[in-house]
Structure 1
Amino acid sequence: MKTVLLGYMSSGKSSVGKLLAKQMQYDFIDLDHYISENEGMPISEIFNLKGELYFRKKEKEYLEKILRSSTTTNLVLSLGGGTPCYYNNMRLILEQTGINSVYLKVNIETLLQRLWKEKEHRPLIAHYKDKEGLEEFIRKHLFERQFYYLKAQHVIDVSKLSFNQIVENIQLKINN
């Protein structure tokens, strides 16, 4: 069984994924970290040196490799925020057998608070100087991406939940 976590930047995919994998005694892969390790540089550097198009192509290649690998059958995979939105990545996830996809949905206010604190580490938003501009970007960006996110088999509003509560909710959804 593979569980794929998707959602917007800072929705908790990596933190929740690690905890979920530990509780289920599954392997855990953070797709962004996997890409970074295989490319030998941080995601921000890939964006700066090689561009977003190169990154998205590599992202698709690595996603396919992980999903089709028989050695990682019991796996929790945390995607990057944009992964489901490019190429046919979301269709690839949905068409695979033995995969549960879970969208960790977060409200705008919570996303703004989280992203404002960590924007320097996020290539898409590092240049924002005020919260109003960042909020407008998040609203537009999330609106565009939600089309893909909402295709997930399970949607959980995690805005006001602890990581442990999110893990419990995921386990309830995927075990029913």
Structure 2
Amino acid sequence: MNIVLMGYMGSGKSTIAMELQKVLSYKCIDLDDYIEKKEERSISDIFNSKGEIYFRKQETLYLKELLNESTSKIVAVGGGTPCYGSNTDFIINHKRTRSIYLKTSISELAKRLFPEREKRPLISHLNTMDDLTEFIGKHLFERLAFYDKSDFTITTDNKTKAQIVEEVVAKLI
């Protein structure tokens, strides 16, 4: 079985994937890292040199490649992955895959993302917490329809990594 973790940037997908790996002994893959290895360049370089359309096509290709492998794995997808093409439908209709939306409040996302915004091209131009909070609110609203299609939703606010992992495992049993 595959487990796909989805949610907005800063929701903890990669962190929870690594923690789940310890409990389930599944291979853990961050889709963005996988794309960078396959393409032999950073996500930023791909966007700058080939454009977003190319990136999204490759993202879909590599997502399908990973989920169609016979080995069980945990895949932390990018925040935008479910929102492009038929990625959400592919994930939720894949027979060997369970999807989990890590739901995090706008205020918590802003608190987590503000200190690291320089490393995130989508929000690097936002200089105040108010601007970031407003951006996240609008952006998350656009993406909720995709995230809400996941098999399970787990709220992450005020929970430890261990508590979130415990909830994920309980949903999968």
The two structures share one fold, judged by TM-score above 0.5: yes
Q: Deviations over 1:72-119 (max 9, x none)?
A: x22111000000000000000111112110000000111001110111
Q: Is the 8 A contact 1:47 1:123 kept in 2?
A: no
Deviation for aligned residue 1:125:
0.8
Q: Deviations over 1:138-169 (max 9, x none)?
A: 00000000100000010000011111111000
Give 3-state SS (helix, strand or coil) of 1:128's partner: coil
Q: Deviations over 1:19-50 (max 9, x none)?
A: 10121011111000000111111212222222
Percent of matched pairs sharing the same residue: 46
CA distance, structure 1, for counterparts of residue 110 and residue 68 of structure 2: 35
Match of residue 126 from structure 1:
124
- Check if 1:50 corresponds to 2:47: no
CA distance, structure 2, for counterparts of residue 58 and residue 88 of structure 1: 13
Structure 2 gaps, min length 5? none
The within-5 A match list for 1:38-117 is 38-70=38-70, 73-117=71-115
RMSD between superposed Cα atoms in Å: 0.9
Matched positions, count: 173
TM-score normalised by structure 1 residue count = 0.95
CA distance, structure 1, for counterparts of residue 29 and residue 57 of structure 2: 18
Name segments (4+ residues, structure 1) moved above 6 Å.
none
CA distance, structure 2, for counterparts of residue 50 and residue 127 of structure 1: 22
Q: Is the 8 A contact 1:4 1:78 kept in 2?
A: yes
Structure 1 gaps, min length 5? none
Give 1:91's aligned amino acid: D
CA distance, structure 1, for counterparts of residue 129 and residue 53 of structure 2: 28
CA distance, structure 2, for counterparts of residue 137 and residue 49 of structure 1: 26
Give 3-state SS (helix, strand or coil) of 1:156's partner: strand
Give 1:26's aligned amino acid: Y
Q: Is the 8 A contact 1:44 1:122 kept in 2?
A: no
CA distance, structure 2, for counterparts of residue 37 and residue 120 of structure 1: 22
Give 3-state SS (helix, strand or coil) of 1:100's partner: strand
Match of residue 8 from structure 1:
8
TM-score normalised by structure 2 residue count = 0.97
Give 3-state SS (helix, strand or coil) of 1:17's partner: helix
Q: 1:172 aligns with which of 152, 170, 173?
A: 170
